[in-house]
Amino acid sequence: MEVTRILAIRHGETAWNVGGRLQGHLDIPLNDTGRQQAQRLARALAGREALAAIYSSDLGRALDTAQALQSATGAPLTVRPALRERSFGDFQGQTFEQLSQAWPEAAERWRKRDPAWAPPGGGESLLTFQERVAQEVQALATQNIGNQIAIVTHGGVLDVLYRQAARLGLQDARTWQLTNTAVNRLLWSPEGGLGLVGWADVSHLEDASLDESTT
């Protein structure tokens, strides 16, 4: 059975990650920690993984992470806007505490992960978001049968992919991590679709030898 191996990677840390603010489609840059994480990730994968291609969201926090990986591995990089984070509409830039105060009813539907509900101001419902992500990743996997690729994207995208690979519903409680620059391994086949191989590998963040100052 021919398969596509996928390294699904969240972008490096941003100031809004630290502050608990919803980023969505807003183009928030990596902070210093995020840039260091991206460099560690790139050095680690360059030493142990063969990549046929790298695909990235067009938002800067993902693209900067992907460019570090491309520089280290030499794999071709393609920007794919469909790998963007979910659009949160008017909720973008807010913390959940702020949402609960300003939009209590909407915040409750958000908390309960109502699949059909979309944030006001042009946000995406979970169902619409899930369909976008699933179609995009299937297209990329189909183009790369027999190879390994990296997808550099966002926490929401990775959450959808985990649920799809583990055959979980959109409202099932999350028990898995979505760590910045963690390496998450998936397998795709035309017969079986997406499968889970390994999740949340952060060994490169713990390996001091991958610091730029020590190389």
pLDDT tens for 100-157 read: 998 899 889 988 999 999 999 999 999 999 999 999 999 999 999 999 999 999 999 9
Residue of 11, 25, 154, 204 marked catalytic: 11
- CATH code at position 185: 3.40.50.1240
% residues pLDDT > 70 (the chain): 98
Classify residue 167: in a domain, yes or no: yes
Classify residue 107: in a domain, yes or no: no
Does the pLDDT of residue 55 top 80, yes or no? yes
Classify residue 114: in a domain, yes or no: no
Classify residue 197: in a domain, yes or no: yes
CB–CB of 44/31 below 8 Å?
no
Residue of 25, 85, 124, 136 marked catalytic: 85
Which residues constitute the domain of residue 41?
A: 4-88+124-214
Count of domains for the chain: 1
- Mean pLDDT, the chain, whole residue set: 95
Classify residue 117: in a domain, yes or no: no
The radius of gyration of the chain from alpha carbons, rounded to an integer in Å, stands at 17
Classify residue 113: in a domain, yes or no: no
Told to judge if 11 belongs to the known catalytic residues of this protein, a careful annotator would answer yes
pTM, whole model, 2 decimals? 0.95
Classify residue 75: in a domain, yes or no: yes
Told to judge if 97 belongs to the known catalytic residues of this protein, a careful annotator would answer no
